[in-house]
Amino acid sequence: MGENKWMGKRWEDMDTDVLVKIFKELNLVELSPVSQVCRLWRLACSDPLIWSTLDFGLLKSNYIQTRASPYIWVDDRSDKRLSRILRVAMSISYGNVSCLIFHYNLYMKDEHLHYISERSPHLKRLVMPAWNRITKFGICQAIQRWEELESLTMPTIGHPPYIMEEIARSCKNFAELKVMGSFDDLFASAIATHLPKLKVLSLRCSKVTMSALLWLLDNMANLEVLNISHCLLFEIVANGRRQVIHELDDQTLEKASRLREFYHCQSRSCLACQRMMADEGIMRWYRYEDWFWRRDEVSSLDLQDYGKLFDAECEALTAVE
């Protein structure tokens, strides 16, 4: 009998699309050494199918709240950990990240944001981390680089006009915005002034003034989708007292009826609404389920499950000792 010979392909000769399917099952820690095996594997590891969404939703800073600006102190080891993880991710992804998701308790600095924006020029969707240590210059510089940005989820900020103005100037296809925190007349005016073509806006679980809501409904002619589910709606009445609105009146509902989709829930029997009331309009996300902050009634803004690239195993392997 003749000698049997193995007729299959060697690993280094496998088709790129097959390698991509295999490598999609790996997290960042596992992917790093694989990307260094050979040129073909390096190419497969950088494929856009792997890197379209880079979800750092499990990555948090080790921090302490303080009374002085920026009202937060972050352990230097957390900063170094973040820098190390970003270097690996940006190196392997080779500019192919189109969606970046960060945890609300990740306190990055300008240098981190600068590093990311330089190496992810085709970003289309960004879920921002906390603002505390990011300067006006830092965020504006990043937005200028992200000309293809279409969607932004952001914590509330004290002076929103400059960000809305920079988005309008730099991101011509911008269409979706989600604000997590407080939303007042200044914020509504900034959006209406600088982003009049905005299509989708979610204020889910935010503290919203009725005057700001009405401003949006009266001035955002191109808005198609609005989510105010579980918001703490209020208005200022006599003596400066705040009055919570538990049910929208007919006039407001009539104005909202022109929208393609309008989500609203201010029910005392709703668990999310109960949490908003208990937290006095500023949701303490850390008190609740890990997935709760990621949800949204607007399907295009819902973050669904945590991504594979930075899963629980990867988070544990990169944790600060």
Query: How remote is the C-alpha of 2 from its chain's centroid?
Result: 62
Q: Is residue 121 part of a domain?
A: yes
Transcribe 149-204 into DSSP letters. --EEEEE--S-THHHHHHHHHH-TT--EEEEESEE-HHHHHHHHHH-TT--EEE-T
Same domain, 71 and 38: no
In a domain, 4, yes or no: no
- Do 42 and 70 lie in one domain? The reply is no
Under DSSP, is residue 33 helix (H, G, I), strand (E, B) or coil?
A: helix
How far from chain centre, in Å, is Cα 130? Answer: 10
* 260 domain-assigned: yes
Q: Check which CATH number belongs to the domain holding 21 and give it.
A: 1.20.1280
Would residue 3 count as lying in a domain? no
Q: Would you give the DSSP letter of residue 27? A: -
120 and 150 fall within a common domain: yes
Q: How many Cα atoms within 13 Å fall on the side-chain side of residue 320?
A: 16
pLDDT tens for 179-213 read 999 999 999 999 999 999 999 999 999 999 999 99
| Low-confidence residues in the chain, pLDDT < 70 | 1-13, 320-321
The residues near 168 (Cβ < 8 Å, ≥ 6 apart) are 174, 194, 195
Number of domains in the chain: 2
Residues 35 and 94 in one domain: no
Tell whether 177 and 197 lie within a shared domain.
yes
Whether residue 89 is found in the same domain as residue 44 = no
pLDDT 10s digits, 235-267: 988 777 888 888 999 999 999 999 999 999 988
Q: Quote the tokens at residue 62.
A: 């080790």
The answer to the question of residue 267 being in a domain is yes
In a domain, 2, yes or no: no
How much is the pTM? 0.91
The confidence score (pLDDT) of residue 321 equals: 64
106 with 18, same domain: the answer is: no
Enclosing domain of residue 31: 9-49
Dist CA 320 CA 81 (whole Å): 7
Task: Tell me what pLDDT residue 38 has.
Answer: 87
> 73 and 151: one domain?
yes
* 115 shares a domain with 243: yes
Task: Report the CATH number that the domain containing residue 141 is assigned in CATH.
Answer: 3.80.10.10
Main-chain phi, psi angles of 228, to 5 degrees = -120, 25
Q: Do 303 and 171 fall within a single domain?
A: yes
The set of residues, in sequence order, having a beta carbon less than 8 Å from that of 141 and lying 6+ positions away, is 113, 114, 117
Residue ranges with strand state E in the chain? 53-56, 63-65, 72-74, 99-102, 125-127, 151-155, 176-180, 182-183, 200-202, 207-209, 225-229, 232-236, 242-245, 261-265
In a domain, 44, yes or no: yes
Residues 262 and 237 in one domain: yes
Residue 24 lies in a domain: yes
Whether 15 and 161 map to the same domain: the answer is: no
Q: Are 62 and 108 in contact (CB under 8 A)?
A: no
SS3 17: helix
